[in-house]
Amino acid sequence: MNTPDSRADSAADLVAAEDVLLFVNAAITATGQREFRSRAVDQQLSLDFLHTYVRVNYRRVYAASLALDINHHNAALIVRRLLETADEASPEERRTEGRLIAARLAALPPQRVYRLFGELRRAKVNNRRTRAIMRNWLAARPDLGHDAVKYRAGLKTVARHIHLPCPEGGEPLAEVGAFLFRPGRARRYEHRMLDAWRRAHYEQGAVAELPFTVAEGFAAKHGMKREVFLKRAAPRMTRLERLRTQEQRTVGDRRPDADLTVMPLTRLALYVLSLGFEERAGRRAELTGALRAAARRAAGAHAGSWGRVHAVLDDSFSSSGSGQKRRRPLAVALACHHLLEVLAAPGAYRGLWTSGACDALLVRPWGPTPLGMRILDALEPGGDGAAPDRLVIVSDGWDNAPAGLAGEVLRVWRHRLDPGRRTAVVHVNPVYDAEGFDVRRLAAGVATAGIRDAEDLPALVEIARFAEGRTGPAELYAYLDRQVARFTGEGGCLVKRPEPAPTTVRTARAPGEDVTP
């Protein structure tokens, strides 16, 4: 028999689990940028509140979020908040946080890490633990000479902040120090990239040896023609730089070769949507083949394992996104369309766009959002008379034609027509709702998860099942534990059950306490 205390504990656990899921959804979707229906400042204020709330009340879970597929913006925010409030953590928490921070920094793009370190310096976060984390990250960089050229300001800031020793002499670190703090004095550098930067001031041939973003400035200084510069720089461009400059590198009617089949799925969908309708139609075989190849890579071992899958895909006008996130919601829907086709059993996929479009390659943001009508269509049995095993809805959740119909359809379906849950219904939402501190939901009984990249769909479906109420908080924390162990490469119970919010402020760290990251 449940005692009052056990019932209170269960209620507290459920509230904690809901808070965790709410934060995870925000950390996946929100970037602090303007959305279709909310300003950037609203997004930033909402996200700031969530980070503070979860860090104060569930610090272990807050740190464990670094092991999930959250976006880079929120990962950097979590690292910064953990390092700024190190005195609030116990020694055990600091050790776990150090491992998580090191693993996440290794996965972040270097320019974002340098930006984060600059923010820590401006915030005057200069404890031994922070300096050790910075030193370890720099020590793991494959080529500091390359970083000195491409991320010069960021590396210089970090070197000053952690008092990086740059001795005199011929060793590589000494050359980097001389390049950063004593520029123009060396007649030549042993490091190829540093010497190319020196020669690029007066020699056009050295410009093509530099990273593309650095070489652009020197090309403008030398007055090089854009097409000549791009042709010379092409071998050193990254995959995304090649895509961005592809139009400029077109010679006559011949487009330079670009292997789209190696592009990540969502990024490729964004590229496809940036093209005009005529170009998409003219390159149909190439673009469709690239999208399907990317979907097969993203599906991996999950390919063909989802049975019958029906999808409702939102291409209403709100999927155009904003000036900062142009066509992002529509790109996620297009990428999910191709991924779900691979995840479903062969010939068992059906995708329905809210606009009624039949050609996925030519979709565009247009019209209202009749989610309710499309969900009715998607729940109908297929040609063999069987209901779908999974219904996946990719939408921002603003059902307005008519308003509220989608939620009512799903409620009636779940309670009256499918109480045994033969059809699993999942709603993935690519847009953060700043007012609701979460992604917008369609119905209370439908699992909803935030999504940023379609590649994360299989993992997000696993997270979404915790929101249905069929699994308890213990399973959620066990899942977080497994993710932390996988991410850091260490076993053991690292997350544990979240403790209630502290009523008193922890004392500051005593001198000489362990600061190992």
pLDDT for 53-64, tens place per residue?
999 999 999 999
Which pLDDT belongs to residue 181?
87
Which pLDDT belongs to residue 82?
95
CA dist., res. 152 & res. 149, Å (int): 5
Q: Is the pLDDT assigned to residue 5 strictly greater than 60?
A: no
Q: Among residues of the chain, what percentage have pLDDT more than 70? A: 86
CA dist., res. 291 & res. 283, Å (int): 12
97-135 in b/e form (b: 16+ CB < 10 A) is bbbbbbbbbeebebeebbbbbbbbbeeebeeebbbbbbe
Give per-residue pLDDT as tens, 68-123.
Answer: 989 999 999 999 999 999 989 888 899 999 999 999 999 999 999 999 999 999 99
Indicate the SS3 state at residue 354.
coil
> Given pLDDT bands bounded at 50, 70 and 90, which one contains residue 502?
very low
Helix-helix angle 72-84:110-122, to 10 degrees: 30
Domain boundaries in the chain? 4-226, 266-452
Give per-residue pLDDT as tens, 393-436.
Answer: 999 989 888 888 999 999 998 888 888 888 889 999 999 999 88
Indicate the SS3 state at residue 386.
coil
Query: What is the fold of 266-452?
Result: Rossmann fold (3.40.50)
Which pLDDT belongs to residue 250?
56
Which pLDDT belongs to residue 445?
78
Which pLDDT belongs to residue 135?
92
pTM: 0.85
CA dist., res. 432 & res. 189, Å (int): 49
Which pLDDT belongs to residue 478?
85
Give per-residue pLDDT as tens, 194-249.
Answer: 999 999 999 888 898 899 989 989 999 999 888 888 888 888 888 878 877 776 65
Judge contact between 160 and 114, C-beta under 8 A.
Answer: no
Question: 192 Cβ partners below 8 Å, 6+ apart?
Answer: 145, 209
Give per-residue pLDDT as tens, 440-491.
Answer: 999 887 889 999 999 999 888 878 777 665 566 788 888 888 889 889 887 5
Which pLDDT belongs to residue 495?
58
